[in-house]
Amino acid sequence: MKKQMLAMAVFLASGLMLCAQGQWEVSIHYSGWSIDVVDTAIEDNFVPDFDYYDPDKGKLNFDSNGYNYGLEVRYFPGGSNGCFSIGLSYERNYFRGDLSGSYVETDNQGNRIDVEGRGIFDFNPHSINISLRWDLWPRLRIHPYIGFGFGFGPLNGNMTMVTTATTHAGGNTLMETRTETWTLKEAIEELEEEEGEEFPLGFFPVIQFQFGIRGQIAGPVHLILEGAFYNGLILRGGLAIRL
């Protein structure tokens, strides 16, 4: 996967370098996001894997957050006042999800079982992305832009599932805890074995739609503020320098 990503990056960079009459731009950015696609995949595929926990008896609540940062090289074929540009970026993506819930079971003898379940999901895929962008009214010092892009990267991450059952019976208390940890690759292989079919994707896909505003700070330095769909909602800020 890494060799494929490197080959694609070299190919695209070589192609862009042939267009020397335009203008180049280098930028760095940082983003905060919520990843709806990953949220749905976790809830659909991994909730049933809780040992001793019955999701029909206690609702499981999902909470997530994430961020990413990256470096982008962008080329404007039309020069400094050009509208269209194509960009190639390297992104580091981080996602943390927490799945938790609890419920209580009792019997006719007054015995009670307190059940708690928690899942921790840490994903950290990196990706190579391509984006096409159109600056609207690029001659203005501050102007909006729109764009879209796509990319891919390896599936990197870890998951831990913990279920705790505390039994209160006859004045005694017994606690049982079951903990399992997988890499994302191991979890997918286990799902494939259980379902009898291959996981549809062997890589981390990226689909991106952008709407942003860029403003010239001084000389070749520009500030970029962006809202986008990037496998979920994302807010991004960055600095760009025209070369």
Tell me: the pLDDT tens digits for 32-49?
Answer: 876 655 555 555 555 555
More reliable by pLDDT, 65 or 131: 131
Structural tokens at position 189: 């292989």
Whether this prediction's pTM lies above 0.95 is answered by: no
Mean pLDDT of 128-144: 94
Domain count, the chain: 1
56: pLDDT strictly greater than 90:
no
Contact 131, 180 (CB under 8 A): no
Mean pLDDT of the 143-154 span = 91
Q: Does the pLDDT at position 156 exceed 90? A: no
Mean pLDDT of the chain: 81
Predicted pLDDT at 40: 58
Lowest-pLDDT range of 105-119, 129-143, 159-173, 191-205: 191-205
Which of 42-46, 93-97, 138-142 is predicted most confidently?
Answer: 138-142
**Would you say 153 and 141 are in contact if contact means Cβ atoms under 8 Å apart?**
no
Q: What is the Cα–Cα distance from 59 to 123, expressed in whole angstroms? A: 24
Region for 40 from its dihedrals, namely left if φ exceeds 0, alpha if ψ lies in -120 to 50, beta otherwise = alpha
The answer, yes or no, to whether residue 200 has pLDDT greater than 80, is no
Mean pLDDT on 164-191: 82
Residue 144 has pLDDT above 90, yes or no: yes
Q: What percent of the chain has pLDDT over 90?
A: 28
Which helix (H) or strand (E) segment holds residue 71: the answer is strand 61-76
Domain that includes residue 104, residue range:
2-242
Cα 78 to Cα 125: distance, rounded to the nearest angstrom: 34
Residue-level pLDDT at 20: 52
Q: What is the pLDDT of residues 225-242, one digit of tens each?
A: 998 776 667 889 999 999
Instruction: Look up the CATH number of the domain holding residue 28.
Output: 2.40.160.20
